[in-house]
Amino acid sequence: MLDLHSINMRRGMLYETIITTINPDKTPNAAPIGVICKDKDEIVVYLHEGSRTIKNIKNNRAFVVNILKDPLVFVESTMGNLSPEHFLEFNDEFNDNYAIQGSDAYFLAKVYDLKDIERKDQFGIDKSSIIRADVDEIVKNKDCVEPLNRAMYGVVEALVYLTRKDMVSGETEKLYNLRMKEISRIVNKVGAREHKEAIKKVMTAWNEDK
């Protein structure tokens, strides 16, 4: 039986996915959402209040997590323009949910706990929901599935800035400093141990002789 480890999702890491849900009129909805792998058969999702995705999940108590790398699907689903031909429709085995065509893998998640919370972040008071769900069914379409995690891309981006460190000054240097701090924050938030060690080395080099 397949589990999240079989599609290279590691415990404690956050992955960038597209979640598909069912609207009240039974049409599909898609949105890019970060998913945390809690265990081999369990995920956690944090969703902001008011989104169509959280409303649908509260109504249906189930959703599909799609793992893919198509940049246009991420853009179009963010802008709410993902066209109907992108969706696969299921019947009983996926609780009438939809998946996205061409996904490297996808799985059905069934909610077992949902809590509404308020927390303070850099933007003020954030009202959101914590969703805990069991992984009920996994479909693997490729032998090697590589779910997206921002940490590796962050490390690479930080290295690009590091190689340009001695070429900038003034306002550009200030901008680079802000970007490096944000990259470090993201990597430490979503990355694994090796990503955190890597960005620590990069930041140490960045801050030398300052």
pLDDT at 69: 94
Three-state DSSP at 62 gives strand
The pLDDT score that the predictor gives to residue 123 is 65
Structure tokens at 41: 């058969």
Instruction: Specify the 3-state DSSP secondary structure of 151.
Output: helix
DSSP designation for 82: -
Long-range contacts from 78-87, C-beta under 8 angstroms, 24+ separation: 78/31, 78/32, 82/30, 84/27, 84/28, 86/30, 87/20, 87/28, 87/30
Helix axes 193-207, 150-163, angle to 10 degrees: 20
DSSP 8-state class, residue 167: G
DSSP state for residue 145 in the 8-state scheme: -
pLDDT on residue 127: 85
Q: How far is CA 138 from the centre of its chain?
A: 17
pLDDT band at residue 91 using 50, 70 and 90 as cut-offs: low
In the predicted model, is pLDDT for residue 95 greater than 80?
Answer: no
pLDDT in tens, 121-165: 666 777 899 999 999 889 999 999 999 999 999 999 999 999 999
Please state the pTM of the whole predicted model.
0.88
Per-residue pLDDT at 9: 95
**Do the beta carbons of residue 20 and residue 32 sit within 8 Å?**
no
Check whether 96 has a pLDDT greater than 80.
no
Residues 2-34: tens digit of each pLDDT:
899 999 999 999 999 999 999 999 899 999 999
Q: What pLDDT is attached to residue 181?
A: 96
Tokens of 173: 């240097």
Q: Look up tokens 């999240």; give the residue.
A: 4
Across 12-16, 46-50, 161-165, 181-185, least confident range: 46-50
**Domains in the chain, please, with CATH?**
4-140 (2.30.110.10), 150-207 (1.20.58)
pLDDT number for residue 39: 95
pLDDT > 70 fraction of the chain, expressed in percent and rounded: 94
Instruction: Give the mean pLDDT of 93-117.
Output: 90
